[in-house]
Structure 1
Amino acid sequence: MPKKTAVILRYGPYSAAGLSVEHRTFRLEGLQAVLIKDGHKVTLEKIEDLNLVELMVNDEIVFHCNIKDLEFGGDGTLDPLCEEARMAVLNAY
């Protein structure tokens, strides 16, 4: 997939540190940073599926994971899931 691809990052609510279940973006920061660094335009979209993260390219889900498996904060360079997501976007058709 060429650079400057539109990527929709869909994310559901989750509970953090015993707090209430809400939509939070702290665990998405590294993933967003990795995709933006590659030149992609990332749009966040809330969904109601608990703990779910999905990346959509051309209306097709190319990657999904549990939001709690992503590292909290950071730039995503050390998170293996961010690299897996990055490659899924690059290999999307």
Structure 2
Amino acid sequence: MPRSARVTLCYGPYESNGVVQHRSFRLQGLQAALRARGHQCVMEETREWNMVELVVNGEVVFSCDIKQLQFGGDGQLDPVCKEAVSAVEKAY
């Protein structure tokens, strides 16, 4: 994978405190981990509840439940972030 891939983070709404809406707080660590590796992140809201997908060159290379990601942080200690970054690195 080229060092500076364009990664689209597709994320859906999830419920927190009884309110369902799109929130990017859980994606901060994932974004930081991808940017640290030199990738460009583009955020895109979808209608699928609780879903995160990473798209590289039109292909979904990683997906998970948004609640599996740690809230905030830099993503260095989050095993799901490490798995996602690895999937992006192996995308080609």
TM-score range, shorter chain: over 0.9
Quote the residue 1:55 is aligned against: 54
SS of 2:35's equivalent in the other structure is: helix
SS of 2:83's equivalent in the other structure is: helix
Q: Could you tell me how far 1:2 is from its partner in structure 2?
A: 1.3
SS of 2:73's equivalent in the other structure is: coil
Deviation beyond 4 Å, 4+ runs, structure 1: none
Give CA-to-partner distance per residue, 1:40-64, whole Å, 9 cap, x none: 0000000000000000000000000
CA distance in 2, matches of 1:89, 1:12: 20
CA distance in 1, matches of 2:73, 2:18: 21
TM-score by length of 1: 0.97
CA distance in 2, matches of 1:83, 1:40: 14
Quote the residue 1:34 is aligned against: 33
Q: Quick one: which amino acid aligns to residue 44 of structure 2? A: E
Quote the residue 1:43 is aligned against: 42
Q: Structure 1 unaligned runs (5+)?
A: none
Identity within the alignment, %: 54
Q: Quick one: which amino acid aligns to residue 3 of structure 1? A: R
Quote the residue 2:7 is aligned against: 7
Tell me, yes or no, if structure 1 residue 87 matches structure 2 residue 83: no
Q: Structure 2 unaligned runs (5+)?
A: none
SS of 1:27's equivalent in the other structure is: helix
Q: Could you tell me how far 1:19 is from its partner in structure 2?
A: 3.1
SS of 2:87's equivalent in the other structure is: helix
